[in-house]
Amino acid sequence: MKRPLVATGWILLTTIVLVFALVPLDPFLSQKAQGLPASIVAFNETITDFGRFGWMIYLSATALAAAFVVRRAAKQEPLQRKASTARDLAAYFLLTIGTASALVHTLKILVGRARPELFTELGAYSLTPFANTNLYESFPSGHSTAAGAFFGVFAMLLPKLRPLFLILALMIGVSRVIVGAHYPSDVAAGLLLGLWTSVMMAFLFAKYDRLFHLGPGGWPLLGRSDQAK
């Protein structure tokens, strides 16, 4: 378990550093972002809802169910193997997204940070735990967590394209600030929470030699251990 713990430690440290670095700048950056030209704001309003958990969970659950059906119905071994791989892929997506959703919504309730729309009334640092209202669920950003988990999964599956997936996740995160839904520190925490979930789930799958295996350096690599030999 040392390798997953080390990965957790680095991601946690990065999250703490980024959040604490951004918190003092939250009011300034938030106001500046919302004051950008209307065309930029409109573009970000168009892309921001990509970061919703609902469609990700529904799509991966549907894919998982379909893979199970095909796996049971398949008579030929090659098709069975492909269906098994599809099942593991869908399960990895679903468990990552579902776990990230549960974690971020729990943190939102525990922290109870007021959203930017209440800035004039309460400022940027008002905390009301267990408020049980969306207006006090700014930290961490749910959309950013969803984007971090979603693109984190792709980053684990396609490591050569990790810079692209990082940029895409960051775009969704930044859009939450521009549309006035979150502060920058909310976004940083959300993105890294989603990424952490995708990495930890890959370690879990590798432990059972499902979809991933642990490479020579102890990092989860795509493919089962018997396929890597």
Say if 227 falls within a structural domain.
no
217 belongs to a structural domain: no
Entry pTM: 0.93
Angle between helical axes of 142-157 and 77-111 (0-180°, round to 10): 150
Q: Evaluate if residue 5 carries a pLDDT over 70.
A: no
Residue 223 included in any domain: no
> What does the longest C-alpha to C-alpha distance in the chain come to?
65
Residue 185 domain-assigned (yes or no): yes
Q: What would the pLDDT profile of 85-101 be if each residue is shown by its tens digit?
A: 999 999 999 999 999 99
**Is residue 156 assigned to a domain?**
yes
| Residue 2: per-residue pLDDT | 60
Q: Which position has the token pair 């700048």?
A: 25
**96: which 2 tokens?**
């990552």
Q: What is the pLDDT of residues 55-66, one digit of tens each?
A: 999 999 999 999
**What's the structural domain count of the chain?**
1
| Spatial contact of 216 and 107, defined as CB atoms under 8 Å apart | no
Residue with tokens 């409109």: 42
- Residue 137 sits in which domain range? 2-212
Whether 63 maps to a domain, the answer reads yes
- Asked whether residue 207 is domain-assigned, the answer is yes
**Least confident span in 9-13, 108-112, 192-196:** 9-13
The answer to whether position 226 is within a domain reads no
- Cis previous bond, 116, omega within 30: no
Quick one: tokens of 227? 């396929």
Cα–Cα distance measured from residue 75 to residue 70, given in angstroms and rounded to the nearest whole number: 10
pLDDT at residue 224, rounded to an integer: 72
